[in-house]
Amino acid sequence: NAGVMQNPRHLVRRRGQEARLRCSPMKGHSHVYWYRQLPEEGLKFMVYLQKENIIDESGMPKERFSAEFPKEGPSILRIQQVVRGDSAAYFCASSLSGVFQETQYFGPGTRLLVL
Amino acid sequence: AQSVTQLGSHVSVSEGALVLLRCNYSSSVPPYLFWYVQYPNQGLQLLLKYTSAATLVKGINGFEAEFKKSETSFHLTKPSAHMSDAAEYFCAVSRGFGNEKLTFGTGTRLTIIP
């Protein structure tokens, strides 16, 4: 039973380029969360999605960042016109059905480096 | 708003010694508390969680944590450290209403001395 998959594991971009991070939740999971971990900091919530819906994007920067979780395929976190401050580890987590007290399962993360 | 504070960004213990990692929380509602472990270049793995049932929670790999409301604490312990316990440990809190975002502490890196 495969866990949460994220790719790429490492991504290097130059300033101004676009970064696309993909997350495939565990089989049967329909809820996805994205978190960002800046160097020497804890994980910070960015966005919570269900299939085809954004439920909570209160942690998402207002500009350049977007997320989607289509009916088919992985969830995508997209960062346009990357800047050096976007360098971080981005983690995706998934859960089964969104019920009370459910565990979130984390992927291995994508390490983004902006040159 | 909810938050957690992890005291000590780095903790070193000798193999076989007691492990104690500290976490204090702040919450306006009864919290749901979690400990996750992160091994190098891997994702986070749930060690244990407190969801208002028992105050002493047992997790995987011999870890346990005790919820103390009077001290607003949820410290993680293990009686005898093993080399394989070397990792980064994160405490997290949520409100637990439906499926909620987690608010994490800044983490504690645990080093085991042979």
What per-residue confidence (pLDDT) applies to A32? Answer: 94
Query: Residue A42 and residue B106: Cβ atoms within 8 Å?
Result: yes
What per-residue confidence (pLDDT) applies to B19? Answer: 97
> A67 with A79: CB under 8 angstroms?
no
Percent of chain B with pLDDT over 90: 68
First-to-last C-alpha distance (Å) of chain B: 41
Q: What is the DSSP letter of B40?
A: T
CB-closest option in B41, B46, B96 to A101: B96
Residue in chain A lying closest to B39 (CA): A108
Q: What is the DSSP letter of B80?
A: S
What's the mean pLDDT in B106-113?
Answer: 95
Helix (H, G, I), strand (E, B) or coil at B41: coil
B70 to chain A, any CB pair closer than 8 A? The answer is: no
Query: Residue B104 and residue A43: Cβ atoms within 8 Å?
Result: yes
Would strands A65-68 and B56-58 be described as parallel, antiparallel, or unpaired?
A: unpaired
**C-alpha to C-alpha distance for B33 and B52, rounded to whole angstroms:** 9
**C-alpha to C-alpha distance for B49 and B34, rounded to whole angstroms:** 4
Residue in chain B lying closest to A100 (CA): B98
Query: Residue B43 and residue A3: Cβ atoms within 8 Å?
Result: yes
Question: Over 60: is that where the pLDDT of A88 sits?
Answer: yes
Q: pLDDT digit string (tens) for B12-44?
A: 999 999 999 999 998 877 788 999 999 987 889
Would strands A88-95 and A31-37 be described as parallel, antiparallel, or unpaired?
A: antiparallel
What per-residue confidence (pLDDT) applies to A93? Answer: 94
Helix (H, G, I), strand (E, B) or coil at B50: strand
**C-alpha to C-alpha distance for B74 and A73, rounded to whole angstroms:** 38
**C-alpha to C-alpha distance for A90 and B65, rounded to whole angstroms:** 28
B96 interaction partners in chain A (CB closer than 8 Å): 100-101
B40 to chain A, any CB pair closer than 8 A? The answer is: no
Query: Residue B46 and residue A108: Cβ atoms within 8 Å?
Result: no
- Least reliable range by pLDDT among A38-47, A61-70, A96-105, B99-108: A96-105
* Residue of A46, A96, A101, A106 to mutate, testing the B interface (most B Cβ within 10 Å of its Cβ): A101
Residue in chain B lying closest to A10 (CA): B41
> CB A100: neighbour CB atoms within 10 A?
11
Question: Over 70: is that where the pLDDT of B107 sits?
Answer: yes
B25-28: long-range contacts, CB 8 A cutoff, minimum separation 24 = B25/B72, B25/B73, B25/B74, B25/B91, B25/B93, B26/B1, B26/B2, B26/B72, B27/B2, B27/B3, B27/B93, B27/B95, B28/B1, B28/B2
What per-residue confidence (pLDDT) applies to B99? Answer: 56
Query: Residue A108 and residue B103: Cβ atoms within 8 Å?
Result: no
Q: pLDDT digit string (tens) for A6-41?
A: 999 999 999 999 999 999 999 989 899 999 998 877
